[in-house]
């Protein structure tokens, strides 16, 4: 669409212009400086120290930006789109680089082109995805063009415990993405069943009171790539680690009941990926299924009238602080409290939305 643009890239809004100007400078001023320093034989840490002398950002933040720019300089088409629209802020810059770091030289050109296309707007006033969703988009593109991206080294689960100044025990654990998703799902299921909080669930499970059971929805997109909620797109090696116990077709037929059937709920969550309100990143797993047109006003219990909303934004819609319509592809058009119109696209593994044109 020739008149397509991102809501955050409007030159008519001073705040948006200030933000996009800064985003562009990361690529038009910081990136050339980093490339000059590399050409002169300096390493990343030396470049970080040189920049720290000139700016007020923390050294950790500068380090993250420098490492991201070193990765992204291999992807000139991506950089071109980012400069054109000014929509890639520091968080998105880092998220993109974290995913693109393992792209092989053989796949680089195709990945660069596909990612650049993904950075273009599709409709007027489109809400651009947040960093996590952007990283997920790129992850899928890489999996489509590179059979097995370079995987980070496996890390063993870690845990620690300390007693704070109030003599309270504090526990901390770290697991890899897939194992962590299973543990998190099991804890949430226990919390719902027993109406308790996370700390109480942990205490009761450790005491051996009951076992927690978890079943995760593993989605497979039309092009055959597997997706695990809260984790993202999986490589073939990651997908093989999962034990699939049951395969269910997703229900898209209209239901006579108010509450959507379990398979329809799974479809809507798999289509949307997260809360559909502009700028919200709450995962669909933690969202409510909302009727766009209220069921009491004749709204159908069907994916064409259902979307995911977090509790907060569901409440805003219910109070008529914002309004929304949805089309057959699941694209939401929001009217915000100030009358601004913003469009959000579904970002889940089952979404079927148009690809931006060059």
Question: What is the per-residue pLDDT across 153-206, written as a single tens digit (0 to 9) for each?
Answer: 667 899 999 999 999 999 999 988 888 888 888 898 899 889 999 999 999 888
In angstroms, the CA 224 to CA 349 distance is: 10
Q: How far apart are CA 283 and CA 286, in angstroms?
A: 6
Encode 156-191 in three state secondary structure: CCEEEEEECCCCCEEEEEECCHHHHHHHHHHHHHHH
Is residue 307 packed enough to be buried (19+ CB in 10 Å), middle (13-18) or exposed (0-12)? buried
Q: Under a CB-based contact definition with an 8 Å cutoff, are residues 89 and 65 in contact? A: no
Q: Please tell me the distance from the alpha carbon of residue 104 to that of residue 291, in angstroms, as a whole number.
A: 44
Ranges for all domains in the chain classified under CATH 1.10.30 = 262-344
Are residues 274 and 308 in contact, defined by beta-carbon separation less than 8 angstroms? yes
Please report which helix (H) or strand (E) contains residue 288, including its range: strand 288-291
172: nearest Cα among 60, 180, 182 = 180
pLDDT tens for the 358 residues of the chain, in order: 568 988 887 766 677 788 899 999 999 999 999 999 999 999 999 999 999 999 999 999 999 999 999 999 999 999 999 999 999 999 999 999 999 998 999 999 999 999 999 999 999 999 998 898 899 899 989 988 886 655 556 678 999 999 999 999 999 999 888 888 888 888 988 998 899 999 999 998 888 877 767 677 788 877 778 888 878 888 887 887 776 767 766 656 788 889 998 889 989 998 999 999 999 989 898 999 999 999 999 999 999 999 999 999 999 999 999 999 999 889 999 999 999 999 999 988 888 766 555 5
Q: Tell me if residue 334 falls in helix, strand or coil.
A: strand
Residue 153: the pLDDT is 61
| pLDDT for res 13 | 66
Nearest to 316 by CA among 288, 296, 344: 288
**Rounded mean pLDDT of the chain?**
89
Q: What is the pLDDT of residue 189?
A: 87
Please give the pLDDT value at position 52: 96
> Dihedrals φ, ψ of 169, to 5°?
-80, 135
- Where b means 16+ CB within 10 Å and e means fewer, 163-181 reads eeeeeeeeeeeebeebeeb
- Residue 118: which of 133, 106, 102, 103 has the closest Cα? 133
Cα 120 from Cα 312, distance rounded (Å): 29
Res 249: pLDDT: 67
pLDDT at 110: 96
8 Å CB contact between 271 and 119:
no
User: Is residue 31 classed as helix, strand or coil in its secondary structure?
Assistant: helix
CATH 1.10.3470, applies to 262-344:
no
């Amino acid at each position: 669409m020739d008149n397509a643009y991102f809501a955050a890239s409007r030159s008519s809004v001073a705040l948006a212009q200030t933000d996009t100007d800064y985003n562009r400078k990361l690529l038009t001023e910081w990136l050339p400086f980093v490339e000059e320093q590399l050409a002169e034989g300096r390493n990343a840490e030396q470049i970080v120290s040189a920049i720290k002398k000139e700016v007020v950002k923390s050294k950790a933040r500068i380090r993250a930006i420098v490492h991201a720019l070193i990765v992204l300089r291999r992807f000139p088409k991506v950089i071109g789109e980012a400069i054109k629209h000014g929509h890639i802020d520091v968080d998105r810059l880092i998220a993109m680089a974290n995913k693109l770091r393992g792209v092989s030289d053989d796949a680089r050109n195709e990945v660069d082109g596909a990612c650049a296309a993904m950075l273009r707007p599709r409709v007027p006033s489109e809400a651009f995805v947040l960093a996590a969703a952007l990283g997920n988009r790129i992850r899928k593109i890489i999996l489509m063009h590179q059979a097995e991206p370079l995987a980070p080294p496996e890390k063993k689960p870690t845990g620690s415990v300390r007693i704070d100044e109030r003599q309270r025990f504090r526990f901390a654990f770290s697991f890899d993405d897939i194992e962590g998703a299973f543990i998190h799902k099991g804890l949430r299921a226990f919390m719902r069943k027993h109406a308790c909080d996370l700390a109480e669930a942990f205490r009761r499970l450790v005491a051996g009171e009951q076992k927690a059971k978890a079943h995760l929805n593993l989605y497979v997109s039309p092009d055959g790539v597997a997706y695990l909620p809260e984790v993202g797109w999986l490589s073939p090696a990651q997908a093989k680690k999962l034990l699939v116990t049951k395969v269910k077709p997703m229900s898209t037929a209209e239901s006579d009941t108010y509450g959507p059937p379990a398979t329809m709920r799974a479809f809507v969550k798999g289509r949307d990926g997260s809360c559909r309100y502009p700028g919200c990143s709450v995962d669909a797993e933690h969202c409510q299924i909302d009727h766009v047109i209220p069921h009491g006003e004749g709204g159908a219990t069907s994916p064409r009238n259902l979307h995911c909303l977090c509790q907060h934004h569901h409440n805003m819609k219910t109070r008529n602080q914002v309004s929304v319509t949805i089309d057959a592809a699941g694209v939401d058009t929001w009217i915000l409290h100030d009358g601004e119109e913003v469009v959000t696209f579904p970002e889940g593994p089952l979404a079927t939305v148009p690809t931006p044109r060059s």
